[in-house]
Structure 1
Amino acid sequence: MRYAIPVFLILITAFSMGCVTTQEQTLLQQRLAMLEQRVGELEKKVQNTEEERKAKADLMARLDNLQLQMGRMEGRLQELEHKIEKGQMPVTTSPVIARPPEPARQETPSMSPEEALYSEALKAFQQKNYSLSEEKFKQFADNYPDSSLADNAFFWLGEIYFIRGNYLKAIEYYQQVIDKYPKGNKVASSLYKQAKAWEALGDRTAARILYEKVIEKAPNSAEARLAKEALESLKKSPQ
């Protein structure tokens, strides 16, 4: 038993020394890894700095070369100017290129009295000066009944009365378009507006008949599409 305790102490001491050595070794390895990482970062910085220095040096060399070329060009220019001043070099001028003659301006043909009157009437309508527009369109219809714009004049007269709420008078002018100019381009519009006028007057039957007539006579027209929508609206609305 006398030797048991020292042996035990020796074993404990040896074990403790072994543990300390392992810890120190691990710590040293960690520190070494950190130092290696730091050295690597510093090397990268040095490398980047070196690359930047080379790039700057290259740019400066290019700039110097450009400045040298500019200096040579300026010297050459001064030399030429000096020779010209002393009369040692003939001064040449660029040949004058004759411009081709400009084509004669074509005057815009003035409107005929017929066109001018219609234009004045339509302009007054667009400006909502319906009294003046009515006067001009009536004058046009009286003076130019055979004009290609005559049906338009009667249609716009119908529009003026429609806007004023005089639906019966509007219907009369629309009817003149239909009767006098059956092959004109305002027939479908006149039929449709007659239907709208009768609908405004409360005659749904007359309106329905005329809407159907629009669809029959001009099935592919914009007026036919509007007439179909109006018929659907009549069906849905109460009597």
Structure 2
Amino acid sequence: MIDMNFLVWEEIIMNKKIRSLLIISLTAFVFGCVSQQEMLDIQNRLTALETQGSSNLTSYNQVDTRIESLESQLHHIKQSVDLIEKQFREQYAGIKANSNTSRHEIRQITGRLEEIEYHLKKKFNLLKQQKQTPSEDNVPVNQIFERLQMIENYLGIETNERKSSTTGRMQASQSQQSSPQTPEAEMYATGKTAFDQKDFETARIQFVNFIKKYPKSKNADNAQFWMGEIYYQEKWYEKAILEYQKVIETYPNGNKVPAALLKQGMAFLELNDKTNASLILKELTKKYPDSPEAKLALKKLSEL
């Protein structure tokens, strides 16, 4: 076993010696056959190859660096995209939730409007029937109208209008020497007379036409107020509230605003809406604390 190993190593050593002798022989042969100039050319080419290899290595390193930079940028871009996608999903979820809430609120409002419209039509049809077939059912309405007139007399709401209407009727019955009423005053007086006589349909038509034809008249706010009173007398409280609001918004400096606020609050009370009634009556007492309407508003508030 030892002899076999010795023989293997001896063979390996002999092969190395032979290769070394061959290399030395080839080198001597080459140097013997190649000129000095050719050796220089070979050396230059080797140097050029080494330089090119070094340059290529540098380029490869730069490419690797660039690739690493691009990978880093791509990683950051991916993170940004993920963040944007996450934010978009959250915003979309929020928008969807808000949209669902808005739809629910719109459905509620629509339902409320449809309910109000139904009640308005029902009351309108009832009023038409009452007008076509007068009966004792109309007595409570007349009584309410008389009570309201008493309140308005106490507040001084109707004083000027009634004087104007009475004066108009007196002038119409006087001699021809009296100067005739202007079309504006005549139209207003006709509407007010119809209102006083509880002819609400005629009064409504007259006041609507008067406001359209004479929107800047000194009696325009009065006409608008009586429009609210007509619907209030007809127990069409929702419509009355809207008409009173026109007085407040269209004629904020007129003398009918306190009365419109008072009657608007009373209309809400008739609808059993104490919250809005309280808000309006408080607004009246705050804006017009010295007015007769404010005193009545305070009394109403104490009863709520």
Picking from 211, 215, 218, the partner of 2:281 is 211
Residue 225 of structure 2 aligns to a residue whose secondary structure is helix
Which residue in 2 is equivalent to 1:192? 262
Which residue in 2 is equivalent to 1:227? 297
Which residue in 1 is equivalent to 2:56? none
Deviations 1:182-239 (A, max 9, x none): 00000000011110011111110100111111111111111001001100111xxxxx
Deviations 1:37-61 (A, max 9, x none): xxxxxxxxxxxxxxxxxxxxxxxxx
The amino acid of 1:174's aligned partner reads Y
Residue 145 of structure 1 aligns to a residue whose secondary structure is coil
CA deviation after TM superposition for structure 1 residue 107, in Å: 2.9
Distance in 2, Cα, partners of 1:175 & 1:129: 23
CA deviation after TM superposition for structure 1 residue 108, in Å: 2.1
Which residue in 1 is equivalent to 2:55? none
CA deviation after TM superposition for structure 1 residue 146, in Å: 0.7
Which residue in 2 is equivalent to 1:164? 234
Residue 123 of structure 1 aligns to a residue whose secondary structure is helix
The amino acid of 2:208's aligned partner reads K
The amino acid of 1:221's aligned partner reads S
CA deviation after TM superposition for structure 1 residue 160, in Å: 0.3
Kindly indicate whether residue 237 of structure 2 is the aligned counterpart of residue 137 of structure 1: no
Which residue in 2 is equivalent to 1:178? 248
Question: Runs of 4 or more off by more than 3 Å in structure 1?
Answer: none
Matches within 5 A, 1:1-239: 107-234=177-304
Which residue in 2 is equivalent to 1:31? none
Distance in 1, Cα, partners of 2:268 & 2:198: 24
Deviations 1:155-188 (A, max 9, x none): 0000000111111110111011111100000000
Distance in 1, Cα, partners of 2:204 & 2:176: 35
Provide structure 2 residue ranges, at least 5 long, that are not aligned to the other structure.
1-174
CA deviation after TM superposition for structure 1 residue 116, in Å: 0.1
Deviations 1:96-148 (A, max 9, x none): xxxxxxxxx99322110000000000000001111111111111011111111
Distance in 2, Cα, partners of 1:217 & 1:109: 41
The amino acid of 2:235's aligned partner reads G
Distance in 2, Cα, partners of 1:108 & 1:223: 37
The amino acid of 2:203's aligned partner reads S
Distance in 1, Cα, partners of 2:242 & 2:235: 13
Which residue in 1 is equivalent to 2:30? none
Percent same amino acid among aligned pairs? 42
Q: How many pairs were matched up? A: 130
Distance in 1, Cα, partners of 2:286 & 2:218: 25
Distance in 2, Cα, partners of 1:196 & 1:172: 13
Provide structure 1 residue ranges, at least 5 long, that are not aligned to the other structure.
1-104, 235-239
Distance in 1, Cα, partners of 2:266 & 2:184: 31
Distance in 2, Cα, partners of 1:200 & 1:106: 48
Distance in 2, Cα, partners of 1:175 & 1:209: 14
Distance in 2, Cα, partners of 1:157 & 1:184: 15
